Amino acid sequence: MNFNENSNITIFKHPLIQHKISKLRDKNTSTKEFRQLVEEIAMLEGFEALSDLPLEQVEVETPLEKTMAPHIAGPKLAIVPILRAGLGMVSGILALVPNARVGHIGMYRDEETFIPHPYYCKLPKPIDKRLIVVTDPMLATGGSAIDAIDQIKKEGGKHIKFMCIIAAPEGLEALSKAHPDVEIYVGCLDRELNENAYICPGLGDAGDRIFGTK
């Protein structure tokens, strides 16, 4: 599959994103720095992913005169992290859109079957008219992202974007096939999954590295 030809997939080439991802990969990067880097990368990706936010003209009075000026239109954006690791990306996007609402989807991947197990779902209401940005640093088999987006659609979500930091080709293909209407933003496309369904070269377990649980 040639991902670059799929208009719903953006694979970032920006040198700042690439540089920060390389620092994330380093096993000697501390928890504090890892967390900071995840936040910064989410902000850089978010800047591009939100470049099509709708605008409306609103009257503003400057010290000199009244004028019509663009404002973001429509209901507030919903950021929906997939717990746990997706939480690390929320603050970076909130720095861009401080009024965004935040939903949560709890999901963990069974270590042997790699099947995702959902344990929590709370979304801002109403969900159907909001732009929804689902965050998770890692898109491995794609099972967690596909299941999370299934849940959001069941709750009525329609306009959904998915943002990750590292994707495996297997997961990117699975997600784009399962949800062809979802725009996918990828910081870096890695080589492959290993026998434990970890992304190689990857960065290890994103949740453990963000929260220091290993």
Ligand X SMILES: O=P(O)(O)OC[C@H]1O[C@H](OP(=O)(O)OP(=O)(O)O)[C@H](O)[C@@H]1O
Ligand Y SMILES: O=c1cc[nH]c(=O)[nH]1
In the complex, the residues that contact ligand Y under the rule CB under 6 A are 85, 138, 140, 198-199, 202, 205-207
| Residue 206 within binding range of ligand X, rule CB under 6 A | yes
Q: Does 161 bind ligand X (CB under 6 A)?
A: no
In order, the DSSP letters of 11-49 are E---HHHHHHHHHHH-TT--HHHHHHHHHHHHHHHHHHH
Which range in 78-86, 125-133, 152-160, 181-189 contacts ligand X by CB under 6 A?
Answer: 78-86
Q: Which does 82 bind (CB under 5 to 8 A by kind): ligand Y, ligand X, Mg ion, none?
A: ligand X
Query: How would you label 108-122 residue by residue, b for 16+ Cβ within 10 Å and e otherwise?
Result: ebeeeeeebebeebe
Q: For residues 38-66, b (16+ Cβ closer than 10 Å) or e, as one string?
A: bbbbbbbbbeebbeeeeeeeeeeeeeeee
Residue window 191-210: x/- pattern of binding to Mg ion, with contact defined by CB under 5 A? --------------x-x---
Question: Whole-number minimum distance, CB 56 to ligand X, in Å?
Answer: 35
Please indicate whether residue 109 is annotated as part of the active site.
Answer: yes
- Nearer to ligand Y among residue 61 and residue 195 (C-beta): 195
Active site residue 147: no
Name the binder of 131 from ligand X, Mg ion, ligand Y, none, CB < 5-8 A by kind: none
CB 44 within 8 A of CB 14: yes
Query: Which of 25, 29, 35, 208 is labelled catalytic?
Result: 208
Query: Which of 34-42, 70-78, 92-100, 131-139 is the region at the interface with ligand X (rule: CB under 6 A)?
Result: 131-139
199, interface contact from ligand Y, ligand X, Mg ion, none, CB < 5-8 Å by kind:
ligand Y
The separation between CA 190 and the C-alpha centre of its own chain, rounded to angstroms, equals 16
Catalytic positions, written as ranges: 109, 113, 205, 208
